[in-house]
């Protein structure tokens, strides 16, 4: 007697296997989230127990100074403690939903961190009793050689971890469950706060770059520090004069709205031997770009950046600029820059390779070059 054929259930098994894989990954992620949350709470507890609580009791620091240094650290601890209790009970969705109501604390903590570090350094320098107290606490075995400065950024590092944990949990949760919607809201909330924090860091870094360039330039005639201005990059280029003179090496600073050309001060100058003298400032919104020669992967090229000489040219260029700004590009085009004045051409040439990784900011000058089809070789390094 022949055996009867087995029913065809491959599709059903595949779905069940996929759901089982999701559940295993989800369980591993939830377990790792809980384990790392416990470690995070232990580190926060070190700061709260051995610094905040004792300093409040002793009165070593004024309440306002204490608040500036540690910010909402106790509130962050409380929120994470409640989250860990939910995770221990397996209440993942409700736990994350409740936790997300406290995520704004991380944004405020990031806003205060720079001032916190400045105040901490100031107190270590000026307050002898606090300096001794800090050194004594940091020698405790619980700190494992870490200083207070190493522990203060922990909440922001944890925020970055939250984003990845929450996304992994969402990806391995079935969309037709009620918990999926709560996880989706949690992912959205943590991403919004992460962008907020990243924006704080980007603006802080940009301010430092602007200040650094301002200090490099001799005198105060060229004002680099300006609201809304973003630093992009800098590099040495060769200027080719129009009258056949020798090439002149110049430092160029590219910002979101201007291009600054500068030359080194005399090395024997008593005050400015390490500074640069500004030679020209080119407003980018008035510039046009033309390719002279050069190829994408070559080691040389020439572009012409011209300033308009008439109101009509300015109007035409303004219209072109608006069109270009609507199609910003982040491609890896390699460029070579040439600067041209209104009447006298000043050529800038270089064979240095250029990387198009501009970070997270879609600045117009590079998009403009891409939109005009300029495919030349390296520029700023």
Write the CATH number for 254: 2.30.29.30
Residue 13, pLDDT score: 67
Do 163 and 208 share a structural domain? yes
The gap between the terminal CA atoms of the chain, to the nearest Å, is 81
Do 145 and 109 share a structural domain? yes
Do 121 and 91 share a structural domain? yes
pTM, whole model, 2 decimals?
Answer: 0.71
Let me know if residue 292 belongs to a domain. Answer: yes
Do 233 and 93 share a structural domain? no
The span from the CA of 341 to the CA of 112, in Å, is 45
Is residue 143 pLDDT above 50, yes or no? yes
Residue 230, pLDDT score: 94
Is residue 336 pLDDT above 70, yes or no? no
Is residue 363 pLDDT above 60, yes or no? no
Do 177 and 33 share a structural domain? yes
The conformational region for residue 266 under phi > 0 = left, psi -120 to 50 = alpha, else beta, is: beta
Residue 267, pLDDT score: 82
**Banded model confidence at residue 142, pLDDT cuts 50, 70, 90:** very high
Let me know if residue 364 belongs to a domain. Answer: no
Show the tokens assigned to 216: 């490099």
Residue 374, pLDDT score: 32
The boundaries of the domain holding residue 106 are 14-214
Do 210 and 275 share a structural domain? no
Is residue 121 pLDDT above 90, yes or no? yes
Highest mean pLDDT among 117-121, 231-235, 359-363: 117-121
The tens digit of pLDDT for each residue in 203-213 reads 999 999 999 99
Percentage of the chain with pLDDT > 90? 53
The span from the CA of 29 to the CA of 14, in Å, is 22
Domain stops at, among 162, 184, 214: 214
Mean pLDDT throughout 134-157? Answer: 96
Do 151 and 117 share a structural domain? yes
The tens digit of pLDDT for each residue in 51-76 reads 999 999 999 999 999 999 999 999 99
Let me know if residue 374 belongs to a domain. Answer: no
Do 232 and 124 share a structural domain? no
Residue of higher predicted confidence among 77 and 341: 77
Show the tokens assigned to 13: 């098994």
Mean residue pLDDT of the chain comes to 79
Is residue 80 pLDDT above 90, yes or no? yes
Residue 240, pLDDT score: 73
Is residue 360 pLDDT above 50, yes or no? no
Is residue 200 pLDDT above 70, yes or no? yes
The tens digit of pLDDT for each residue in 152-197 reads 999 999 999 999 999 999 999 888 888 899 999 999 999 999 999 9
Write the CATH number for 146: 1.20.900.10
How many helices (DSSP H) and strands (DSSP E) are in the chain?
Answer: 12, 8
The span from the CA of 190 to the CA of 184, in Å, is 10
Let me know if residue 210 belongs to a domain. Answer: yes
Residue 277, pLDDT score: 93
The total number of structural domains that make up the chain: 2
Residue 316, pLDDT score: 55
Residue of higher predicted confidence among 226 and 336: 226
Do 250 and 113 share a structural domain? no
Q: Which residue has the tokens 């307050």?
A: 127
The tens digit of pLDDT for each residue in 276-306 reads 999 988 888 877 766 666 555 555 566 666 7
Let me know if residue 318 belongs to a domain. Answer: no
Residue 1, pLDDT score: 46
Is residue 346 pLDDT above 80, yes or no? no
**Banded model confidence at residue 358, pLDDT cuts 50, 70, 90:** very low
**Residue 282: which of 342, 211, 343, 234 has the closest Cα?**
342
Mean pLDDT throughout 29-54? Answer: 96
Hey, what long-range contacts does 75-80 have (CB within 8 A, 24 or more apart)? 75/102, 75/105, 76/44, 76/102, 76/105, 76/106, 76/109, 76/155, 77/41, 77/44, 77/45, 77/48, 79/105, 80/37, 80/40, 80/41, 80/44, 80/158
Q: By mean pLDDT, which of 141-155, 274-288, 318-332, 341-355 is the weakest?
A: 341-355
Do 72 and 21 share a structural domain? yes
Highest mean pLDDT among 3-12, 214-223, 279-288: 214-223
Residue 294, pLDDT score: 59
**Banded model confidence at residue 334, pLDDT cuts 50, 70, 90:** very low
**Banded model confidence at residue 22, pLDDT cuts 50, 70, 90:** confident
């Amino acid at each position: 007697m022949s055996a009867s054929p087995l029913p065809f259930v491959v599709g059903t098994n595949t779905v069940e296997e996929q759901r089982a894989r999701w559940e295993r990954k989800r369980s591993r992620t939830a377990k790792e989230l809980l384990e790392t949350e416990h470690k995070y709470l232990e580190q926060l507890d070190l700061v709260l127990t051995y610094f905040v609580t004792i300093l409040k009791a002793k009165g070593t620091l004024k309440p306002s100074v204490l608040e500036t240094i540690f910010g909402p650290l106790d509130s962050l601890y409380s929120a994470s403690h409640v989250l860990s209790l939910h995770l221990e009970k397996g209440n993942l969705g409700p736990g994350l939903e409740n936790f997300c109501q406290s995520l704004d604390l991380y944004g405020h903590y990031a806003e205060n961190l720079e001032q916190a570090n400045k105040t901490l350094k100031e107190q270590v320098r000026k307050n002898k009793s606090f300096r001794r107290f800090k050194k004594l606490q940091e020698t405790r075995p619980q700190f494992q050689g870490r200083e207070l400065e190493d522990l203060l950024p922990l909440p922001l590092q944890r925020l970055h971890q939250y984003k990845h944990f929450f996304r992994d949990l969402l990806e391995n949760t079935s969309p037709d469950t009620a918990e999926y919607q709560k996880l989706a809201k949690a992912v959205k909330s943590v991403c919004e706060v992460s962008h907020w924090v990243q924006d704080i860091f980007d603006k802080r870094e940009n301010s430092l770059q602007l200040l650094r360039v301002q200090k490099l330039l001799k005198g105060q005639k060229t004002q680099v520090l300006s609201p809304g201005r973003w630093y992009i990059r800098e590099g040495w280029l060769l200027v080719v004069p129009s009258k056949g003179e020798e090439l002149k090496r110049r430092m160029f600073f590219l910002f979101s709205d201007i291009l600054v050309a500068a030359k080194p001060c005399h090395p024997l100058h008593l005050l400015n031997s390490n500074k640069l003298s500004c030679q020209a400032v080119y407003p980018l919104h008035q510039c046009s770009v033309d390719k002279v020669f050069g190829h994408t992967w070559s080691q040389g090229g020439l572009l012409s950046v011209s300033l308009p000489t008439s109101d009509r040219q300015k109007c035409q260029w303004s219209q072109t600029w608006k069109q270009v700004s609507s199609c910003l590009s982040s491609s890896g085009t390699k460029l070579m820059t040439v600067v041209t004045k209104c009447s006298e051409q000043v050529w800038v040439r270089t064979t240095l390779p250029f990387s198009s990784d501009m970070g997270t900011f879609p600045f117009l000058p590079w998009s403009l070059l891409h939109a005009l089809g300029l495919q030349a070789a390296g520029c700023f390094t």
